[in-house]
Structure 1
Amino acid sequence: MTATIGDAEAAVPTAWGTARLLAGTRAGRLDLARHRDVHDVPRRSERGSLADALDAVGLLGRGGAAFPVATKLLGTRAGSGTYVVVNGSEGEPASHKDRALMRLAPHLVLDGALAVARSLRTRKVDLVVQDRAAHASLAAAVRERRDARGVRLVHHDHGFVGGEVRAVTRALSGGPALPPGRRVLPTVHGVDGRPTFASNVETFAQIALLLSLGVDEYAGVGAADEPGTTLLTLLGDVPHPGVVEVPTGLPLSALVGERPGPVLVGGYHGTWLADPGELTVSRPTLRSAGAPLNAGVLARLPHDTCALGEVATVAHWLADQSVGQCGPCFFGLPALAITLDQLAVGRVATEAARQRARLLVGRGACAHPDGAAAFVASALTVLDREIAVHRRHGHCGRPLLGVLPTGGGPVTR
């Protein structure tokens, strides 16, 4: 079955096995009363004991970096001037998991954010959201709770790079939504120059689950190296497109199907694999295999689309997302996208595109050029046979269907 992001968005999020994050949402959004019927009130926890629990289950951030949450918590100075930032910008068009969570289970996100704030002895909590339906859901949830009266809900629509966590904290401080540099850590210098614990929406929901379930029950499902469940967006020629909650440790092939063909792991800063083989849904395992899960996107292209054209279209979108503050983004990404266009019509060799991608790595003001380079370079490897056809004939004979979304209208390239 070939699914577009519209299909994935329309599909009702489902759980494989026992639902946790999505528990009770089959009938729609959980208001506070229904939320409390489904989830226990999270245990109050001091920073040290919360960090111990986070470390015991090895919780990793559910955005792009997969940083250990316990380490981040202990690295954030506690106090009334400290900020907690829930990053729900989700600027990648292929990912829909965070907005599904915010729309359906907003109180689980708030439970986690408020628990972290209490552990850091602060009341400064900012929820940053791009999706308007998610914003409305969270706004209603904040109104329902007395303990959330100090929460600031911010509509943040500054694109893909503008949703990077350091760009978010800079924007919340009144500056431009631009990453300030790789060495600036929000835990040290975040909103208004204050220590800031910032993480992805799903991370905070996972913290709430851990505090309500306890370590043993939380770790009772999933992989040994990353217990629990996780949210994914499945896209393209997959058996069950849409947002799913799955136990970690599940084989990738169970999610994307077992037929041969390239699979994208991690979204538009992710990695193409020729075949998922025996790999499983586990951030430590996938990172070790050179295919980090990143935004939680798994996609398989159908046979009836031009795969090289799909990759080139995303490369142009990645170039358009540049905020123009460094050469690798401003010059390098457009040049890489144009080189892919030339490759698709047989005018350049694969090595020219590989060289363009290599020039981006490690040179940007943020990780955007690196992520784009990984996406393209891995595609050049797994699509070698298709590229050879383009090289001989100037095309592959298949139309460009736009299975990989870029947030615009119909594909015209």
Structure 2
Amino acid sequence: MTILQETPTSLRAIGQPRLLAGLTTGRADLQRHQQVHGPLPELSREAYTELATAVGLRGRGGAAFPVALKLADLPARGIEAVVVNGSESEPVSRKDRLLLTMAPHLVLDGATGLARALKAPLVLIAVHDPAAAASVRAALLERQDGVEVQVADTPGRFVAGEARAVLSVLEGGAPVPPGRKVLPTRKGYHRRPTFLSNVETFAQLAVLARLGAHEFSSTGLISEPGTQLLTIDGAVERPGVVETPTGTPLEAVLRFAGASPGPVLVGGYHGRWLPTDLSRPETTGGAGIVLALGTDTCPLGEVHRVAQWLASQSAGQCGPCVFGLAALVDDFGRLGNGDPAGWHDAQRHLGLVPGRGACAHPDGSARFLASALEAFDDDIRQHLAGGCGRPVLGVLPVPGGTW
């Protein structure tokens, strides 16, 4: 087990780091980046597709869509752009911002190398964090990539990080997902075929291009080898970003971070809750977020705060989001106050919200809340009997303070 020297961003690794290699002393400029990783081979589109297929590489933004299938869906020519989605608007996640801030050349290698292979004339990097954007712009001054690269500032709202919302912002539109659900590979930037993925995916492509399929597959799962970045937060002794082999048991990650006993949230605020008992072999897929709640705070109160924030992040485009999430905020508030009708109404509303929204926000929010009802069954019983007696400590971060 390797533990990277701690920095202000708290970088660590279980096993040998790849994405975080060479970052123990801070941000890697081009010279140090090349010393650590070596030159990037110039690969064809077919070579990238074969590599992604061989290792089962999936996007690391939460949807986990196979990269090879995304490449195969692009036309043979006429690709408008490669878009790096760095609008990491999930309040807990730090992994993509960390890569852009401390390892920008690794991300740029993945994006520009693929753009040249696809013969795409433009790389667009959408970033809402000022420090990350400044780091990428500084890195571009050190490079000559043979393809135009632009850094675009985007809003930090939750739904603004959705792929179609990012494309809308890049085209000068509103930071919300449009109602139409068309893949960027068909109609992306300027309604032209576009390869779009999140920051870590491009960093993984740069590592894969250098290592090749065999060496890349020397760690992690057989079905999806390699490493992944996890943001660890909450009731833990060592919060931060951790690089682990894929398939590392959640219990091992929590032990590594010094987590307190209690429920665990995986996947962020569109993820799901797991109960205190983690004896079954859960792993840490999804959006790469692990948040330990601990046992000192009121779970229902914490969830209610996040529900209020999620409702405030609605794009205002559809009833399930505008009215459904507002109703669920009220349901969980009443349930926390011991009203049994709150539990019954929450169950009813959770059955009506999923699958009907204009984007993934209502579905993800409903998943988060539905899993809370399952994981916090004992706490719910205590509230219905008069309360759990614990304060709401704000272990779950929400932007802008208490809601």
**Smaller-chain TM-score range?**
over 0.9
Q: Does 1:389 align with 2:382?
A: yes
Report the counterpart of residue 380 of structure 1 in structure 2: 373
Measured after TM superposition, the shift of residue 354 of structure 1 is 1.6
Equivalent AA in structure 2 for residue 121 of structure 1: K
1:146 is paired with a residue of what secondary structure? coil
Cα deviation digits, residues 48-72 of structure 1 (max 9, x gap): 1210110100000000210000110
* Aligned positions of 1:60-99 closer than 5 A: 60-79=58-77, 81-99=79-97
Equivalent AA in structure 2 for residue 398 of structure 1: R
Cα deviation digits, residues 12-42 of structure 1 (max 9, x gap): 2111111100000010000000000001222
Report the counterpart of residue 101 of structure 2 in structure 1: 103
**Identity percentage over the alignment?**
52
Measured after TM superposition, the shift of residue 392 of structure 1 is 1.4
Alignment match of 1:279 (pick from 260, 281, 285):
281
Measured after TM superposition, the shift of residue 242 of structure 1 is 1.1
Report the counterpart of residue 300 of structure 1 in structure 2: 292
Equivalent AA in structure 2 for residue 342 of structure 1: R
Cα deviation digits, residues 270-320 of structure 1 (max 9, x gap): 0111233332536xxxxxxxxxx3321111111111111111111111111
Does the CA-based 8 Å contact 1:232-1:297 persist in structure 2?
Answer: yes
* Aligned positions of 1:127-166 closer than 5 A: 127-147=125-145, 150-166=148-164
Report the counterpart of residue 356 of structure 1 in structure 2: 349
Change (3 A) 1:11 1:256: same
Q: In 2, Cα distance between the equivalents of 1:349 and 1:9?
A: 45
2:52 is paired with a residue of what secondary structure? helix
Does the CA-based 8 Å contact 1:78-1:122 persist in structure 2?
Answer: no
Measured after TM superposition, the shift of residue 149 of structure 1 is 6.3
Q: In 2, Cα distance between the equivalents of 1:280 and 1:319?
A: 29
What RMSD over aligned residues (CA atoms) do the two structures have, in Å? 1.8
Moved more, 114-123 or 31-40: 114-123
* Aligned positions of 1:30-41 closer than 5 A: 30-41=28-39
Change (3 A) 1:229 1:209: same
Alignment match of 2:225 (pick from 227, 245, 255):
227
Report the counterpart of residue 10 of structure 2 in structure 1: 12
Report the counterpart of residue 188 of structure 2 in structure 1: 190
Alignment match of 2:172 (pick from 166, 174, 182):
174
For structure 1, the 5+ residue unaligned runs are: 1-7, 283-292
Report the counterpart of residue 265 of structure 1 in structure 2: 266
Report the counterpart of residue 3 of structure 2 in structure 1: none
* Aligned positions of 1:187-266 closer than 5 A: 187-257=185-255, 261-266=262-267
Measured after TM superposition, the shift of residue 344 of structure 1 is 0.3
The number of residue pairs the alignment matches comes to 393
Report the counterpart of residue 325 of structure 1 in structure 2: 317
Does the CA-based 8 Å contact 1:161-1:167 persist in structure 2?
Answer: yes
Q: In 2, Cα distance between the equivalents of 1:279 and 1:181?
A: 38
Does the CA-based 8 Å contact 2:261-2:295 persist in structure 1?
Answer: no
Does the CA-based 8 Å contact 1:87-1:165 persist in structure 2?
Answer: yes
Equivalent AA in structure 2 for residue 352 of structure 1: D
Does the CA-based 8 Å contact 1:158-1:177 persist in structure 2?
Answer: no
Change (3 A) 1:187 1:373: same
1:226 is paired with a residue of what secondary structure? coil
Alignment match of 2:338 (pick from 342, 346, 354):
346
Moved more, 256-265 or 159-168: 256-265
Equivalent AA in structure 2 for residue 242 of structure 1: G
Measured after TM superposition, the shift of residue 80 of structure 1 is 5.2
Q: In 2, Cα distance between the equivalents of 1:280 and 1:203?
A: 23
Measured after TM superposition, the shift of residue 148 of structure 1 is 6.4
1:199 is paired with a residue of what secondary structure? strand
Q: Does 1:336 align with 2:328?
A: yes
Report the counterpart of residue 290 of structure 1 in structure 2: none
Equivalent AA in structure 2 for residue 272 of structure 1: W
Measured after TM superposition, the shift of residue 391 of structure 1 is 1.1
Equivalent AA in structure 1 for residue 270 of structure 2: H
Q: In 1, Cα distance between the equivalents of 2:344 and 2:199?
A: 39
Does the CA-based 8 Å contact 2:236-2:260 persist in structure 1?
Answer: no
Measured after TM superposition, the shift of residue 359 of structure 1 is 1.1
Please give the TM-score of this superposition, normalised by the length of structure 2.
0.94
1:72 is paired with a residue of what secondary structure? helix
Moved more, 110-119 or 256-265: 256-265
Measured after TM superposition, the shift of residue 351 of structure 1 is 2.4
